[in-house]
């Protein structure tokens, strides 16, 4: 069954709903079937799967992206818990350049977020032991990894945590604000 696709306010970003079949045992769902995604206009060849677990609510990861030729499209979903998932448009020619969108993803609905090339991506765990899973269409390259500081006041992201209340890696704390990030995507 083809996924249901909802366009988010920023061009190219999609919320993907797939059909869950539930009964007394639980549920079954096909989270990704390439022919169905292609038929829905989402023609990406995912080549790597990633999984991340955040032990504590308030854990923030991001805002990350990779630059060409290793720029990635991501298909993100939550296996356990809930996250506030955030994307920032890095495409300079886009009318939403420098703007962000945020959506809650959780294990209950199973919705997925399609984040195309040209966006920074991050999330905040809203529950203990939250597990996030995502497919990417390009392998990870440390030399091509970049990021934007999650708490950049110029982005005005309404994170559910602030400053000292956030659990953030040292690497992510050192990321520059948006205004100090080079343009990699036209």
Strand segments, DSSP code E, in 94-150 are 100-106, 112-115, 119-125, 130-136, 145-147
Q: Which of 44, 64, 100, 123 is catalytic?
A: 64
What DSSP string describes 143-179?
GGEEE--TT-TTT----SS-GGGSB--HHHHTPPPGG
Say if residues 184 and 146 touch (Cβ distance below 8 Å).
yes
Bridge partner list, 147: 64
Residue 48's closest CA among 118, 134, 132?
134
Is residue 144 annotated as part of the catalytic site, yes or no? no
Is residue 64 annotated as part of the catalytic site, yes or no? yes
Q: Which of 100, 123, 134, 149 is catalytic?
A: 134
Q: Which residue numbers are catalytic?
A: 64, 134
């Amino acid at each position: 069954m083809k996924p249901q696709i909802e366009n988010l306010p920023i061009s190219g970003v999609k919320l993907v709903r797939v059909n869950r079949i539930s009964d007394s045992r639980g549920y079954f769902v096909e989270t990704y079937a390439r022919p169905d995604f292609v038929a829905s206009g989402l023609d990406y060849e995912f080549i790597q799967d990633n999984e991340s677990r955040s032990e504590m609510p308030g854990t923030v990861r991001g805002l990350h992206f990779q630059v060409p030729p290793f720029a990635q499209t991501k298909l993100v979903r939550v296996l356990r818990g809930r996250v506030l998932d955030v994307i920032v448009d890095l495409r300079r020619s886009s009318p939403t350049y420098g703007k962000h969108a945020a959506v809650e993803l959780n294990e209950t609905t199973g919705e997925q977020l399609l984040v195309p090339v040209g966006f920074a991506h991050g999330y905040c765990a809203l529950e203990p032991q939250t597990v996030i899973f995502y497919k990417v269409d390009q392998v990870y390259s440390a030399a091509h990894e970049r990021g934007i500081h999650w708490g950049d006041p110029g982005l005005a992201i309404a994170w559910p945590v602030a400053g000292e209340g956030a659990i953030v890696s040292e690497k992510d704390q050192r990321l520059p604000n948006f205004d100090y990030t080079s343009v990699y995507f036209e």
